[in-house]
């Protein structure tokens, strides 16, 4: 693995950092997180457009679609810096990291021309309609139906855990178009305008009180047949393609690094006549976290380096995913204990330390080993594809 960025990429990263310091409130030392709640969405949309105006939002994409014509390394650098500076995500993972590359791989030229440029410019945000109440890990059991009617598909059913759907402009939906064939072979991928009549949303608040997830209901929603992505009944292969994109986990690792750096700064400040940093145990805890975060960063670099070589890092990406999930719990647990009773205060409480971010991370950390493929599934991939062990 090459540990150094190319000089041109390193120079671009410096420009990106300068841009982020200028554009984000209070820059590197900002005291606020920009979760995409309703009050922050206008800022998030404007910020994404500013990044898109520089053709930076999708650096790995072709220039004709609004990218820089670069590669996975530059996309990795962008994601790392945006996460570290706590930039608003604006559905970036599903838009740039997953849906855009999938459309580029499976879409018609008309679909590429229609959708990719608007994604790369920051104009359109996307979400994903895959999981259902009865189809999570066994996604092929999905029951949302799409029936052809003239020039349209008529969509009925529901999806769950639809991240950012309440702010998204479009959704990539998997629906059953043939119930009489084996379940993996009767699924079709559709690109659905979220403003279509018949779509309704029900928020799902998480344990931290944040509205990130939704249930999405489709009641006779008409989707133009030209919005079918890939072949009829070929949706399972489209879904499999999405798993090959945005696998480095660098955003999560970079976010953990930023939290650790914030905890170090907090510990070095004088509080009630003493500094927590003067306690050797505190220094040891934070030092261990710094080392772990750097290990996670290098695991992410390995994944993206393999992608840049044209390889598909299955086991390597799963190693990073497991490590990232464990690190998230370790950092938040250490932080909540280091901050003491003040660390248990909600973000909007007087006296909350570090804007209450550590508490939020602590509450959300347990979802890390579950979301995006459970820890058990990742270990299975590591065992079979990485170590060559037989399937159980």
* Cβ partners under 8 Å of residue 97, min gap 6: 79, 245, 246
Cα 129 to its chain centre, rounded Å, is 15
Spatial separation of the C-alpha atoms in residues 301 and 286, rounded to whole Å: 23
Classified as helix, coil or strand, 348 is coil
Spatial separation of the C-alpha atoms in residues 199 and 193, rounded to whole Å: 9
3-state secondary structure 20-59: HHHHCCCHHHCCCCCCCCCCCHHHHHHHHHHHHHCCCCCC
- The number of beta carbons lying within 10 Å of the beta carbon of residue 8 is 10
Write down the catalytic residue from 74, 81, 246, 316: 246
* 246 in active site: yes
Spatial separation of the C-alpha atoms in residues 246 and 303, rounded to whole Å: 10
Q: Enter the tokens of residue 96.
A: 């740039």
Catalytic residues: 246
């Amino acid at each position: 693995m090459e540990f150094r960025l190319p000089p041109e990429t390193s120079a671009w990263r410096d420009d990106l950092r300068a841009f982020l310091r200028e554009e984000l409130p209070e820059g590197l030392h900002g005291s606020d997180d920009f979760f995409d709640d309703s009050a922050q969405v206008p800022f998030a949309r404007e910020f994404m457009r500013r990044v898109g105006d520089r053709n930076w939002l999708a650096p790995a994409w072709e220039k004709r679609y609004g990218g820089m014509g670069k590669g996975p390394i530059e996309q990795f650098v962008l994601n790392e810096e945006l996460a570290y500076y706590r930039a608003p995500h604006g559905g970036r993972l599903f838009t740039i990291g997953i849906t855009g590359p999938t459309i580029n791989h499976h879409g018609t030229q008309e679909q590429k021309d229609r959708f990719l440029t608007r994604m790369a410019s920051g104009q359109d945000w996307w979400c994903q309609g895959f999981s259902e109440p009865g189809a999570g890990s066994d996604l092929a059991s999905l029951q949302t139906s799409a029936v052809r009617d003239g020039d349209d598909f008529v969509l009925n059913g529901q999806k769950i855990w639809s991240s950012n759907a309440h702010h998204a402009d479009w959704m990539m939906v998997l629906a059953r178009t043939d119930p009489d064939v084996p379940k993996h072979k009767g699924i079709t991928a559709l690109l659905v305008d979220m403003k279509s009549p018949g779509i309704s949303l029900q928020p799902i608040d998480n344990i931290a009180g944040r509205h990130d997830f939704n249930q999405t209901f489709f009641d006779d929603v008409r989707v133009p047949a030209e919005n079918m992505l890939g072949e009829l009944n070929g949706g399972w292969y489209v879904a499999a393609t999405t798993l090959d994109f945005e696998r480095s986990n660098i955003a999560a690792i970079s976010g953990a690094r930023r939290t650790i750096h914030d905890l170090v700064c907090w510990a070095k400040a004088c509080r009630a006549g003493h500094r927590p940093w003067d306690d050797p145990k505190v220094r040891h805890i934070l030092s261990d976290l710094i080392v772990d975060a750097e290990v996670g960063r290098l695991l992410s670099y390995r994944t993206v380096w393999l992608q840049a070589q044209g390889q598909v890092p299955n086991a390597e990406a799963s190693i990073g995913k497991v490590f990232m999930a464990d690190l998230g719990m370790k950092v938040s647990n250490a932080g909540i204990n280091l901050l003491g009773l003040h660390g248990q205060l909600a973000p909007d409480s007087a006296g909350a330390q570090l804007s209450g971010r550590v508490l939020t991370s602590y509450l959300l950390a347990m979802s890390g080993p579950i979301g995006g493929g459970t820890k058990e599934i990742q270990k299975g991939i590591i065992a079979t594809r990485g170590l060559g062990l037989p399937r159980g």
